[in-house]
């Protein structure tokens, strides 16, 4: 359910800031209580993006704080934050990130034929990205 009590499918096609159109949900979750991820289209630049949408003030504020920390990290392994959005009529806030085509990590590590050295390099890059995010998050919490 959405914050207005509608079914989740009612958000498909919803437009944020006359630019981002929600195409399809990327995972389960209760849209009225927790952030959800969506594949969306950036109509201005004609490209796919990922939107993380949060209902309500508290969840939306937390999402924007996380986006701030995430957006300040410069790490090649992370898709960059492109924008943040607010939807006053539905009480939604969102973060827009670059859409990256790829395969799930487990698939990349087990089924793609990566050599051991390539797997180690990939996991190391992800660990470094997570370490950067953790450091930024701790700084945000303390500051």
- Note the pLDDT tens digit of each residue in 103-140: 777 787 788 777 888 888 878 877 877 777 666 666 65
What does the alpha-carbon distance between residue 47 and residue 97 come to, in Å, rounded to a whole number?
11
Position 4 scores a pLDDT of: 39
**Which residues have C-beta within 8 Å of that of residue 29, sequence separation ≥ 6?**
35, 36
pTM here? Answer: 0.68
**Which secondary structure element, helix H or strand E, spans residue 82, and what is its range?**
strand 81-87
Contact 51, 95 (CB under 8 A): yes
**Which residues have C-beta within 8 Å of that of residue 34, sequence separation ≥ 6?**
54, 55, 59
DSSP classification of residue 141: H
What does the alpha-carbon distance between residue 55 and residue 87 come to, in Å, rounded to a whole number?
10
114 conformational bin, left if phi > 0, alpha if psi -120 to 50, beta if neither: beta
Distance of CA 53 to the CA centre of its chain: 8
Band the pLDDT of 1: cuts 50, 70, 90: very low
Question: 114: exposed, middle or buried (C-beta count within 10 Å: 0-12, 13-18, 19+)?
Answer: middle
Position 2 scores a pLDDT of: 40
């Amino acid at each position: 359910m959405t914050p207005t009590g509608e079914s989740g499918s009612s958000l498909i096609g919803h437009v944020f800031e006359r630019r981002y159109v929600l195409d399809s949900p990327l995972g389960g979750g209760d849209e009225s209580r927790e952030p959800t991820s969506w594949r969306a289209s950036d109509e201005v630049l004609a490209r796919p993006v990922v939107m993380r949408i949060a209902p309500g003030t508290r969840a939306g504020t937390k999402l924007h704080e996380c986006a701030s920390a995430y957006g300040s990290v410069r790490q090649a392994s992370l898709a960059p934050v492109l924008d943040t959005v607010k939807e006053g009529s539905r009480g939604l806030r969102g973060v827009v990130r670059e859409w990256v085509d790829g395969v799930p990590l487990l698939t990349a590590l087990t089924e793609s034929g990566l050599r051991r050295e390539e797997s180690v390099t990939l996991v190391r890059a992800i660990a470094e990205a997570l370490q950067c995010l953790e450091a930024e998050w701790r700084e945000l919490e303390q500051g």
